[in-house]
Amino acid sequence: MERKILWLISIIIILSMILGGCKSFFKKDKVEVKEEDEIIPVEIEKVGFGRIYEELSFAGRVFSEKDNVIIPNIPGNVKRVEVEVGDEVEAGDLLFVVENEEIEKNLETIEEALKELEKQKARLDEKVNSLGNMPSRGGIDNKSNIPENKMPVETPEDNASKESPRDLPVEEIPNELPTDVEIEMPEIDVSIDRINKIIEDIEKMPSLYERGVIEEVKAAEKELNAKIGELQMAKKQAETAYEKLEVKSPGKGTVSYIGIHEGGIALNTEPSILVSNLEKMYIEINVTDRIVNKINKEATVSVGIPAVSGEELKGTIELISISPDLKNGLYPIRILIESGDNQLKPGMVGKAKIRFNEKEDVIVVKNDVVLDKNNNKIIYIEKDGKAVERKVSIGLDTGEKVEITSGLKKGDRLIVKGQNFLRNDSEVKVIGGGK
């Protein structure tokens, strides 16, 4: 019995020694592994000065520097169109012609009436000149001698003071055409009939001074000249209206839009043609009241136009509106696009990227390098194989980069990878980045 107890005790002692040795062996391995884990691999970057800015993108449309909207002064059917989209035109070049039968008929009627009056005046002048040189009868001198027993002939001034049913008033002709393009035609029938009657009387008279014909002639000449003056003014107005049927370009540019066609109707309430100056092109964007005061004309702008090129073009802010658009409440901003070719077209869609709050020569690091610890912003730098924890203050934060205003200086070896596994005074091994 005692032997069994001793044997059992011996077995227990041996097992205890074996188990104790194993435990010590595993513990030693664990400590050794822990010691190896304390050396943490990291990557570093040397701190230097850089640039940081905020950047926002805004969609907009492309416009030309100046668009001449061509609207006819007089509406009508389009007789012909002289240009096509893309044509280069100069000031005064014919764009299209409008038909207006009323204006054309008025001009033709006035020209015929004027021609008839001038013909009658020529006949009257011819008769006066031919009969004025004939000798008088009964000792009457045609120029100055008047018999004493004859009643004196009234002067033209005396006749002018008397009202005669044959004296027709001369209506005042306006300087400009009425808006409805109606040209008033002077009445000429009475004047022509009267001239013909006077010429017939002159042909029967051997002397201009008999039966007071001279006064009738002078009155007729005066009336005839007045009617000719009226018709000349009316002709001038009709010619001006006719010229407006030919619509011409007001300036140099490129035809960018045509809204009419031959045989169609050109209205004076809708654009018929658009002539654009493509030498300078703009993109117009709209921004909110929170953004407009952050932008200035010196801001750096890049413009992307997918329809033209995948590369971004340089832009310059030309106008920042001080009042919002009444339709959408946003502030328009006009940006000049610097492009050496003519690929940009009005109406193209683009995107403008504007920088603001731009700072230069400041310490800038990636946003994920800065860590939050106990309500503080910290970073780690590497020094003599150890991680050194530093508190920092930040300035501008763009989401990708952040400005460090204090706690970091140029030349520091900033840990940019592996920082999330560090604590102050951790052993580190630099495996990448600046050394």
Three-class DSSP category at 174: coil
Say what percent of the chain tops pLDDT 90: 39
Q: Is residue 144's pLDDT more than 50? A: no
Can you give the pLDDT at residue 428? 92
Q: Is residue 153's pLDDT more than 80? A: no
Q: What is the pLDDT of residues 62-93, one digit of tens each?
A: 988 788 899 998 888 999 999 999 899 999 99
pLDDT band at 435 (very low <50, low <70, confident <90, very high): low
pLDDT, averaged across the chain: 77
pLDDT band at 15 (very low <50, low <70, confident <90, very high): low
CATH 2.40.50.100 positions along the chain are 69-97+248-274
Can you give the pLDDT at residue 60? 95
- What's the token pair of residue 134? 């004939």
Q: Of 182-191, 229-238, 251-260, where does mean pLDDT reach its minimum?
A: 182-191
Of 281, 283, 282, 285, nearest in space to 58 by CA: 285
What's the CA gap between 404 and 413, in Å, rounded? 15
* CATH number of this structure's domain 69-97+248-274: 2.40.50.100
CB 130 within 8 A of CB 199: no
What's the CA gap between 295 and 56, in Å, rounded? 11
What's the CA gap between 105 and 112, in Å, rounded? 11
Can you give the pLDDT at residue 142? 42
Better-scored residue on pLDDT, 210 or 231: 231
Q: Of 39-48, 100-109, 272-281, 360-369, where does mean pLDDT reach its minimum?
A: 100-109
CB 249 within 8 A of CB 70: yes
Mean per-residue pLDDT for 183-208?
51
Better-scored residue on pLDDT, 160 or 101: 101
Q: Is residue 147's pLDDT more than 60? A: no
CATH 2.40.420.20 positions along the chain are 39-52+360-433
Better-scored residue on pLDDT, 246 or 211: 246
Can you give the pLDDT at residue 2? 61
Better-scored residue on pLDDT, 106 or 93: 93
Better-scored residue on pLDDT, 32 or 199: 199
DSSP bridge partners of 334:
284, 319
Can you give the pLDDT at residue 310? 77
* CATH number of this structure's domain 39-52+360-433: 2.40.420.20
Q: Is residue 171's pLDDT more than 70? A: no
Three-class DSSP category at 226: helix
Question: Which CATH architecture describes the domain 57-64+276-358?
Answer: Beta Barrel (2.40)
Whole-structure pTM value: 0.52
Three-class DSSP category at 200: helix
Can you give the pLDDT at residue 273? 94
Q: What is the pLDDT of residues 241-286, one digit of tens each?
A: 777 888 999 988 889 889 999 999 999 889 999 998 888 889 999 9
Three-class DSSP category at 145: coil
Mean per-residue pLDDT for 339-366?
87
Q: Is residue 329's pLDDT more than 60? A: yes
| DSSP letters for 138-155 | TT--SSS---TTSPPPPP
Can you give the pLDDT at residue 27? 46
pLDDT band at 172 (very low <50, low <70, confident <90, very high): very low
Phi, psi of 255 (to 5 degrees): -70, 115
pLDDT band at 109 (very low <50, low <70, confident <90, very high): confident
Residue 81, CA distances (Å) to 76, 104, 197, 415 in order:
13, 19, 51, 72
Can you give the pLDDT at residue 130? 66
Of 383, 70, 404, 80, nearest in space to 253 by CA: 70
Longest dimension (CA), the chain: 202
Say what percent of the chain tops pLDDT 70: 71
Can you give the pLDDT at residue 324? 94
Q: Is residue 307's pLDDT more than 60? A: yes
What's the CA gap between 50 and 396, in Å, rounded? 13
Of 59, 138, 90, 17, nearest in space to 304 by CA: 59
What's the CA gap between 265 and 41, in Å, rounded? 80
CATH 2.40.30.170 positions along the chain are 57-64+276-358
